[in-house]
Amino acid sequence: MGTLWQDVRYGLRRLAKNPGFTVVAVLTLALGIGAATGIYNLAQALLVRSVPGVRAPERLVQLGRTRKGEGFGTISYADFAEFRAQAKALELAAVYDTPFHLGTRAAVERLRGAVVSANYFDLLGVGVAAGRTFVPEDDLPGRSPVVVISFGLWQRCFGGDAGVVGRTVMLNGYPFTIVGITSALFRGTERLRELEVWVPISTLAQAAPTIGARTGIFSDHGAVWHDAIGRLKPGVSLSQARTELETIARRLEQAFPNSNDERGVAVEAGMSVHQRDRGQTRQVITLLLAVAGLVLVGACANVANMQLALGTVRRQTAGASTPDGKPALGADGRGARPVTGRVALSLDRPAGTGGHGSAESPTGS
């Protein structure tokens, strides 16, 4: 242990005597390690960590439409209503992501938000910083348009004014009353699509006129346009929920053959990345991890090459003769010793009698 500590101190002293080499080596390794760490943290956030601001995220699932057992597409509201009414294994909520324009023509800010069923926040277990979330009555046609905004939007556009609840704002040119502000942690269920405003599904015509203007948008089983999320009920497994929803999908196929022929349903766990984006996200993350690994390997190779080059120069210096024919001394004023190789930082050591128990120490005088 004592010899190792001597090697460490000697290596640190050699680095201090070569500040240029030390700075370049540290920066090179920092670049490689930083890149690898950053990509790893990104992969963790997108594929492993749960969505912040929601209750029991491990119980959340995504629903998607399949065709001949493949794919993960949007579903129709009519199918969604049947799933929600008949399913006993889980609770379901509808979600349709769409852009919004906040303000008037003189000052418009583009936001990303969602049209959701009234039980969306209750299903997720999202808390509020002020006001309330949606209630079942907000889903009824003819209700006054209301909106829930994110904590970040509240701070950015309204200065954190507590009196903003109850205020009317213009969204897409229509008046909406702010009824609540979400907790600071919640920004939606997908890390790649952070949301700032949510409106109830009864305001679809104002929030997304292109979709809302379609005939039979809520009653036609063939009109697929939104996503769905769910929460498994206590004691229910993912496989049990899949079996139940697949059974309901087969009933719908028999009842509505024109629109639901060969149409099924897929249920997938996890919320941080949408199921349709997971394959591509994994490919990108894998590629970035490979690049980061190559950068780290290249950084280590560069530092190793610099060490070899510095060691070569020192050996040449140590092997040279002075004008009087005597061997040149090492950089520390003592004769050169063979490289021990016990630590990566030690390029060479002063010459001595040899073994680990040598009487001559690198720190001695």
CB atoms under 10 Å from CB of 190, counted, come to 19
Tokens 């952070």 found at: 194
The arithmetic mean of pLDDT across residues 301-327, rounded, is 68
Nearest in space to 206 (alpha carbons), one of 98, 75, 81: 98
Asked whether residue 202 carries a pLDDT value surpassing 60, the answer given is yes
Asked whether residue 310 carries a pLDDT value surpassing 80, the answer given is no
pLDDT for position 9: 79
Least confident of 13-17, 18-22, 112-116, 354-358: 354-358
What one-letter code names the amino acid at 14?
A: R
- pLDDT tens digits, residue range 71-90? 889 999 999 999 999 999 99
Confidence of residue 345 (pLDDT cuts 50, 70, 90): very low
pLDDT for position 156: 94
The two structure tokens encoding residue 97: 């992501």
pLDDT above 70 covers what percent of the chain?
A: 79
The two structure tokens encoding residue 360: 């001559």
Asked whether residue 205 carries a pLDDT value surpassing 70, the answer given is yes
pLDDT for position 357: 44
Residue pair 208/98 in contact (Cβ under 8 Å)? The answer is yes
pLDDT for position 355: 43
**CA separation for the pair 5, 12 (Å, rounded):** 11
Confidence of residue 335 (pLDDT cuts 50, 70, 90): very low
What does pTM read for this prediction?
A: 0.69
H-helix segments, the chain: 2-17, 19-43, 77-86, 120-124, 151-158, 204-207, 209-212, 238-255, 257-260, 275-319
pLDDT for position 340: 43
Confidence of residue 319 (pLDDT cuts 50, 70, 90): low
Asked whether residue 182 carries a pLDDT value surpassing 60, the answer given is yes
Nearest in space to 225 (alpha carbons), one of 79, 84, 108: 79
pLDDT for position 39: 74
Contacts of 105 (CB under 8 A, 6+ apart): none
Confidence of residue 297 (pLDDT cuts 50, 70, 90): confident
- pLDDT tens digits, residue range 108-161? 899 999 999 999 999 999 999 999 999 999 999 989 999 999 999 999 999 999
Q: How far is CA 225 from CA 198, 208, 268, 283, in A?
A: 17, 11, 19, 27
Q: How far is CA 154 from CA 11, 159, 168, 188, 288, in A?
A: 55, 6, 14, 15, 35
Higher-scoring residue by pLDDT: 281, 96: 96
pLDDT for position 324: 57
Higher-scoring residue by pLDDT: 43, 83: 83
Asked whether residue 188 carries a pLDDT value surpassing 50, the answer given is yes
Burial 248-286 (b: 16+ CB within 10 A, else e): bbeebbeebeebbeebbbbbeebbbbbbeebeebeeebe
- pLDDT tens digits, residue range 209-255? 999 989 899 999 999 999 999 999 999 999 999 999 999 999 999 99
**CA separation for the pair 52, 135 (Å, rounded):** 23
Mean pLDDT of the chain: 82
The two structure tokens encoding residue 196: 């700032």
Confidence of residue 33 (pLDDT cuts 50, 70, 90): confident
Tokens 């599904």 found at: 201
Confidence of residue 204 (pLDDT cuts 50, 70, 90): very high
pLDDT above 90 covers what percent of the chain?
A: 52
